[in-house]
Amino acid sequence: MQSEHPADDVAAFKQAFRRHAAGVAGITARRPDGVPVGFTATSVASLAAVPPLVSFNMARIASAWPAVEATDHVVVHMLGARNRAVAERLAGPQDERFAGDHWAPGPLGLPLLNDVTAWMLGRIVERVHVADNAVIVVQVEDGELGAEDEPLLYHERAYRILGEHV
């Protein structure tokens, strides 16, 4: 990936990540004017259990970035197979992401997605800018488990569930 053709480097990087599969989460917040924002994330990871810390990544050109930059709190929702439509909706056109009854205002007025397998309300403790992107770290302050389900996975632009043990 040190070629003389940067476009080739980008293609190689994307190809490498096609070898990786990821769990799918839905992240929501509120703009200062109260409008809900959200997006589908494949970067959610546990950073620590004590204190409970979660990280995720986003582009600072994302439609939800101004809200995440301005707010103290977000909600990270773990998505199961039954939440596939919600995952697609939060990855679709910005003005349609909260058009529907798939969410309701929750603690602190934050948008809570319905019927997820777990949600965690977190206070943002780090916003690390790297180039045009940000790594966000939140400390979990509230949360709830929903009914169990197969975790939703994303790979090669497709949603999947877990398969065989190896």
CA angle in degrees (0–180, nearest 5) for 21-27-29: 165
Min separation Cβ 85 and a copy of itself, Å:
10
Min separation Cβ 61 and a copy of itself, Å:
10
CA distances to 99, 103, 125 from 89, in Å = 9, 12, 28
Residue 84 near residue 152, CB atoms below 8 Å = yes
Size of the site for a copy of itself (CB under 8 A): 70
Min separation Cβ 161 and a copy of itself, Å:
5
Alpha-carbon gap, residue 94 to 13, rounded angstroms: 27
As given in the structure block, the two tokens for residue 104 are 């309701």
Contact region with a copy of itself (CB under 8 A), list: 15-23, 30-38, 65-73, 97-105: 15-23
Alpha-carbon gap, residue 78 to 52, rounded angstroms: 15
**Which residues in this chain contact a copy of itself in the complex, by CB under 8 A?**
1-2, 6, 9-10, 12-17, 19-23, 25, 42-53, 55-57, 59, 78, 80-81, 84, 117-120, 125-126, 128, 130-133, 135, 137, 140-143, 145, 148-149, 151-153, 155, 158-166
